[in-house]
A and B are shown apart, each in its own frame.
Chain A
Amino acid sequence: MRKFFRLMKNEWRKQLRKKATWVMLILLAICAVGYSLIVVQDTKTRYGGYYDYYTLEEDCQDRIKEYSQFVDEVDANGELTEFALECRRTVEYCEFLISIGATWDDWRYTEGLTDAMLDAKGLGDEATYLRLRSILEEKDVKGYFTFMKEQAAETYAHDPERLAIETAHYDYCIAHGLQPTTRDWRFQQISVVTTSKSAILLLERSRDRGEQIDEASLEKARNQLAVAEYRLEHDLETNPEECLEAGLMEGYSNESSFWSAMAASDDLVTAIGVFLIVIAGSIVANEFSQGTIKFLLINPVKRWKLLMAKYATVLTFGALMTLVLFVFSFLTALLFGDASHVTAPIVTAEQGVVHTQSPMAQVLLQYLLAGVEILVMSTMAFAISTLMRGSALAIGISLFSMLSGSLLVMLLQSFELDWGRYLLFANLDLDAIAQGASMFPHHSLGTALVIVILHMVVFLWTALDGFVRREV
């Protein structure tokens, strides 16, 4: 084993003395920093200032302009049409929003409340109309929640259990001075608590009546309730889970630039793949093209050991590049993103019991799953280059396979050729397969792993056999 490590040390020395190696590492670091910066910046602008480009007032004026054309539309009887009435109402609503100076950032553009006000006006309920108008004009949050609580009391007068849930909701909002908008994370969470509780109540009632209910929905509601309550109790504003689920390109408003950047950084594993294929495809072939192979093989070392030392060097180099990617992404996200979110846990619940987990484990798992593809592709490059004694073809074939293998699978799938599922390329996206998002039905992770491992064995065995028998 000591001897094997000395062989690996030699291979590492050879790699590190090449300029190309350092160029790759530096490029990777630059990519990591750049990509993280883009994600951080993107998340920040989307969250903070997306609507700055188009204010609520501009939006209202545009709508007034558009709907004003139809406010006098009449039907055959000379009466205003339904559509005209709707337009009148929209115009009135927009004019009101402008008059109270509402913005996207406050809660008052919520249509429900203004609707209620306009309804009251239409019904001639002067007291309610004035009360609501004053709430909206004064930005009276407490007044708003009190009004809503009164409404709930009326609605659920016959259902004290339900009423208790609703009352608790508004009391909490008033007590904590919440804003009734999804921008207030506590309001968001307490809303989840309230809807979950109501759902549980209704489901349990159905069950008590002896009806068939969806146990899964009940379970889901209970878990949602547990998570939301836990987050409120422990003051956990950041939800890294959302960042991990939504990638950069999905246009989802992530809350944490730090976790968004970390979650996106595994996209660059493909870049590592390109570099690693180049290294794997040349580490043996270069010895042949430089003529140094004879001086390597004349040593008292069995050939399979030499080859395995080279393969181990490729693997450890891949690990080093992954580490570089991770560290540089992490530092960039930490320096430019929301550093305070580092400790935010992912909260999950199972059967009503809450578990917390660091999102970092999730990020690392993503790296690992993305790493499988580049591992297989660089092993392929390694095997081909060992057999052909040349690097160009091996690197070409492997890069091409990595970049367009999925296209081939899509093509087969579109012709409904089901055997496509046994192709290597159809089994490399373990993440998607694990989530059941494979293009082929009933595609299990186990099958995918077996196919991947079989290919690896074939690649390595061919390389070993070819290298050991090679006449130099």
Chain B
Amino acid sequence: MSNVVLHIEHLNKTLGKRQILHDISFDTYAGEVFGFLGPNGAGKTTTIKIAAGLLTLDEGEISICGFDMRRQFEQAMAQVGGIVENPEFYKYMTGLENLRLYANMREGVTEERIREVVHLVGLDNRIGEKVGRYSLGMRQRLGVAQAILHRPRLLILDEPTNGLDPAGIKDLRDILKSLAHEEGVAVMVSSHLMSEMELMCDRVGVIVNGRLHSVHTIEEMVAAAAPDHAEYLISVNDPQRGMALLEGMAVESHLTEQGLLNVVLAGEQVEERLAEINRALVTEGLSLYTVSKKENRKLEDVFIELTQAEGGGQIA
């Protein structure tokens, strides 16, 4: 991976008396969707605001496509598009008029390009309406249109799925993936929802309490979450007797609060051993209602584990 688009090095930021960011360094590359993951107040938005030129940096270095943020601001920002926090527009103007304002502030955006982008975000039918009448989801779409208008090399989206309906989320995912994988844009998305990241991102950086905890590819995360054992939930008419039986069979198990038998099976021939347990329960005279596989440990749990380890779940 050689094509560095956003380069952040030893970034420190203090707002008021509080140091928000501690020595953040990472790169994002052309053609990838980079997820920026962290609990509330971890410093995601602050980092994004600095990369979008809204905040100044105290120490460190940021460059975009090789242009230094501080010394070559206009060249650097010409490569950036984004939505920071909520997508806000001039409510008394139509969506199209709003886009034209942005086109005027950037180089090389034609009227055709505006139409193309409007079509891409699915606002063809409503673009002539005043933004004041848009729903949050529509404003979010307009925000994306605004962000990609000038074909930026770096697209920064701060919690872009806020307010979108499920179809909208899927559309956005597809747009972002195609921008990254087909047009070679570096997309940086922040979120506190791991499940969202899993579907969208190629790499994820986890930020906790203003420190960059780690950067993983999604494959690494999935591997970390992959289980080395399987758990099953068994529902019977008399759980107490069931438990006694299982203990007798030397199976690792416990009773859940819902009165289900939670069986943990590791190693080889998991299905065979489950069949054995079932048989034993039925032979014992218990009514066996259902047997279901317990969901795998999710990426969400991995994420919580990662972040809990650092900050103990308190807002820093």
Task: Name B72-93 residues within 8 Å CB distance of A.
Answer: 73-78, 80-82, 84-93
CB distance from B204 to the nearest CB of A (A): 24
Give chain B residues whose Cβ lies under 8 Å from the Cβ of A295. Answer: 87-89, 102, 146
Task: Name B25-72 residues within 8 Å CB distance of A.
Answer: 49, 52-56
- Tell me if A122 counts as interface (CB < 8 A to partner B): no
CB distance from A322 to the nearest CB of B (A): 26
CB distance from A298 to the nearest CB of B (A): 5
Give chain A residues whose Cβ lies under 8 Å from the Cβ of B53. Answer: 297-298
With A17-B92, A291-B88, A292-B90 in contact, is A299–B106 under 8 Å at CB?
A: yes
Give chain A residues whose Cβ lies under 8 Å from the Cβ of B90. Answer: 14, 17, 290, 292
Cβ 8 A contact of B52, one of A9, A14, A298 = A298
- Determine the distance from Cα of A291 to Cα of B87 in the docked complex, in whole angstroms: 8
- Determine the distance from Cα of A295 to Cα of B106 in the docked complex, in whole angstroms: 12
CB distance from B47 to the nearest CB of A (A): 14
- Determine the distance from Cα of A10 to Cα of B77 in the docked complex, in whole angstroms: 19
Cβ 8 A contact of B77, one of A18, A292, A299 = A299
- Determine the distance from Cα of A9 to Cα of B54 in the docked complex, in whole angstroms: 23
Which A residue's beta carbon lies closest to that of B49? A472
- Determine the distance from Cα of A301 to Cα of B150 in the docked complex, in whole angstroms: 14
Which B residue's beta carbon lies closest to that of A290? B88
Contact A292 B88 (CB under 8 A): yes
Contact B101 A300 (CB under 8 A): no
Interface residues on A, range: 20 to 34
Which B residue's beta carbon lies closest to that of A7? B105
Which A residue's beta carbon lies closest to that of B76? A300
- Determine the distance from Cα of A119 to Cα of B103 in the docked complex, in whole angstroms: 92
Contact A294 B54 (CB under 8 A): yes
Contact B56 A472 (CB under 8 A): no
Give chain B residues whose Cβ lies under 8 Å from the Cβ of A298. Answer: 52-54, 77, 80-82, 84
CB distance from B73 to the nearest CB of A (A): 6
Give chain B residues whose Cβ lies under 8 Å from the Cβ of A209. Answer: none
Contact B104 A17 (CB under 8 A): no
Contact B54 A10 (CB under 8 A): no
Which A residue's beta carbon lies closest to that of B15? A471
Which B residue's beta carbon lies closest to that of A296? B105
Which A residue's beta carbon lies closest to that of B143? A295
- Tell me if A6 counts as interface (CB < 8 A to partner B): yes
- Determine the distance from Cα of A294 to Cα of B158 in the docked complex, in whole angstroms: 12
- Tell me if B97 counts as interface (CB < 8 A to partner A): yes
- Tell me if A65 counts as interface (CB < 8 A to partner B): no
Contact B88 A301 (CB under 8 A): no
Give chain B residues whose Cβ lies under 8 Å from the Cβ of A18. Answer: 92
Write the A295-323 contact mask toward B (1 if CB under 8 angstroms, else 0): 11111111000000000000000000000
Contact A291 B86 (CB under 8 A): yes
Contact A10 B84 (CB under 8 A): no
With A302-B73, A471-B56 in contact, is A6–B104 under 8 Å at CB?
A: yes
Contact A10 B49 (CB under 8 A): no
Contact B74 A301 (CB under 8 A): yes
CB distance from A94 to the nearest CB of B (A): 71
Give chain B residues whose Cβ lies under 8 Å from the Cβ of A472. Answer: 49, 54-55
Contact A471 B88 (CB under 8 A): no
Contact A294 B56 (CB under 8 A): no
Which B residue's beta carbon lies closest to that of A469? B56
Task: Name B167-206 residues within 8 Å CB distance of A.
Answer: none
- Determine the distance from Cα of A291 to Cα of B85 in the docked complex, in whole angstroms: 9
Contact A294 B75 (CB under 8 A): no
- Determine the distance from Cα of A7 to Cα of B97 in the docked complex, in whole angstroms: 14
With A299-B105, A472-B49 in contact, is A17–B93 under 8 Å at CB?
A: yes
A residues apposed to B, CB below 8 Å = 6-7, 9-10, 13-14, 17-19, 290-292, 294-302, 469, 471-472
B residues apposed to A, CB below 8 Å = 15, 49, 52-56, 73-78, 80-82, 84-93, 97, 100-102, 104-107, 146
| Additional A-B contact list (20), CB under 8 Å, known A13-B100, A295-B88, A299-B106 | A6-B104, A14-B101, A17-B93, A290-B88, A294-B52, A295-B87, A298-B53, A298-B54, A298-B77, A298-B80, A298-B84, A300-B77, A300-B78, A300-B105, A300-B106, A301-B105, A302-B73, A302-B74, A471-B15, A471-B54
Q: Which 9 A-B pairs have the closest CB atoms?
A: A291-B88, A300-B77, A300-B78, A299-B105, A472-B54, A6-B104, A300-B74, A294-B84, A10-B101
What are 8 of the A-B contact pairs (CB < 8 Å)? A18-B92, A290-B88, A294-B52, A294-B54, A295-B89, A295-B146, A296-B105, A300-B73
